[in-house]
Amino acid sequence: MSSAEPTPSATPPAPPVPLAALLAREELGLRLRAGSPEVSLHWVHTSEMADPYPYLLGGELLMTAGVQLTDPARYVERVVEAGAAALGFGVTPVYDTVPPALVEACAAHGLPLIEVPPETPFTAVARALWRLMAEARLHELRRVSEAQQSLATAAARPAPVPAVLGALASRLGGRAVLFGPDGAESAAAGREVPPEAGRALADLAAVLGPRPGGPASASGEGGGLRLAAYALGGGEGLSLGVAVERRSPSDHTIAGVAVVLLSLLTAPHRAADVTARDTALVRLLLGASPAEAAPALGPGPWTVVHASGGDGTPFAAAALAAALGTPLLDPGEGLPPGAAPPPHGRPLAVPSDDGRPRPVRLLLPASVAVTAQPGWTLGVSAPAEAGALAAADAQAARALRRAEATRTALVRHRAAGFAGLVDPDEAAAYARTVLAPLSPALAETLRTWLSLHGSWDRTAVAMDIHRNTVRQRIARAAVLLDRDLDDPDVRMELWFALGAR
């Protein structure tokens, strides 16, 4: 049985944790009284409502001390209907033991029931689960990063398509198949699968098809294996099929990276200048410097776009690129000044350490009109020749930061204006003198505060610090500079000085 990929559920992006892992934490003293420990927990919720159904999202460990428990059978029935994964019952102060009727009801409905001892606060159980989820999330991030590096390396080999399939099959521990427009296997890698699984995978790929509006991915089961199929871009009707024994939360992201690379590698032949341009874009994607790719890119001019938003997957980034008319996807952070590109290219869609997706970077001909896109925040550089892409990249990054700070869908880099009329060396020398009393932290806070028209809250958001810290820094800067920061002339002078540093 197969199905198109469902719409995103309400469950969080962090990997779920097996109940067994929480029970294994000996310091909690938890005891399983009914049900199986193999269920997955997505979060913890505490409620003493007589009917918690309206407040549950599904997948949670519901914690209660039974303050309003009058009908255990009905209570468990409602908890199961809400989709809770397990029930945690704290003994004392209301009950000295878990009510036998509650144990019987949980056993009858297959709902795992955990006895929480008096010395274990509910908050300790919740904290233990969050830590287990954080550890699982870190493991998945490392797995995705390593897989993306491996796939990018494979894409740079002489026979890139088989190499990418082989790397994908190895990372997922299964089989990867490239299907042609007629549904026949074009290339495959990984261990063999039962014939029924192979047929089911081909049928799943046929669900996608080249028809407009068709699903981009589908999933199912066959031959005892978990199956997934993904349509490749380019309009050629190609698709990628994957068969694995067990599906990990990060498998979808890893397969998405392979989809993006295979879409680029199997793109149809077009005019020579377009092919040369796309070849240069792929070289940039895999880590080449702008100077190396400039001859194939052509003189330009080009526009660099930085975008934040989406859901962190290559599919969202690919949709954005398609909407703006470019095949280049390069999510990831820019390189420090003078740093060499990484040997195997940047990862395509790796979340940052705080779990949020890193910005997507796009390269477009300057003739393409960049417009706001739903669900994305964009920073757009000024048009630049191929040799000046590094400067344009920095412009786009600054524009994106301003767009995020001002909660604006699209911000373009602004030309120097009157500041361009001043000799840069003289302006820099004056700026060093004026700003000499300020530390780097105070200067940056002052610059951000001035750019946001003196807004304490927006400056705090832009710099990820507390608004009281912003107030303290601005007050300190006013004292060190011995200037009235409420004076618009002073603000204008300092703004130019900060820009000329």
What SS3 state is found at 4?
strand
Q: Kindly state whether residues 384 and 297 are assigned to the same domain.
A: yes
Residue 146, pLDDT > 60, answer yes
Neighbours of 292 (CB within 10 A): 13
Average pLDDT over every residue of 183-199: 90
**Where does residue 279 fall: left (phi above 0), alpha (psi -120 to 50 degrees), or beta otherwise?**
alpha
261-305 pLDDT, tens digit each? 888 788 654 444 454 555 555 555 545 565 565 565 666 688 888
Of the ranges 116-120, 290-294, 383-387, 388-392, which is most confident?
116-120
Confidence class for position 349, pLDDT limits 50, 70, 90: very low
Confirm whether pTM is higher than 0.75.
Answer: no
Average pLDDT over every residue of 460-488: 90
Residue 8, pLDDT > 60, answer no
Share of the chain above pLDDT 90, in %: 37
88-145 pLDDT, tens digit each? 999 988 999 999 999 999 999 999 999 999 999 999 999 999 999 988 888 888 888 8
Count of the separate structural domains present in the chain: 4
Q: Kindly state whether residues 213 and 99 are assigned to the same domain.
A: no
Share of the chain above pLDDT 70, in %: 78
Joined tokens for residue 371: 């417009």
Q: Which domain holds residue 231?
A: 157-265
Q: Kindly state whether residues 366 and 471 are assigned to the same domain.
A: no
Q: State how beta strands 113-116 and 86-90 pair.
A: parallel
Distance CA 260, CA 280 (A): 16
CB 451 within 8 A of CB 461: no
Joined tokens for residue 359: 């910005």
202-221 pLDDT, tens digit each? 988 888 755 555 577 888 89
pLDDT for 269 equals 46
Q: Kindly state whether residues 277 and 244 are assigned to the same domain.
A: no
Average pLDDT over every residue of 368-397: 85
Q: Kindly state whether residues 34 and 107 are assigned to the same domain.
A: yes
The chain-wide mean pLDDT, for the chain, equals: 81
CATH number, domain of 66, equals 3.40.1390.20
Distance CA 103, CA 110 (A): 10
Q: Kindly state whether residues 222 and 341 are assigned to the same domain.
A: no
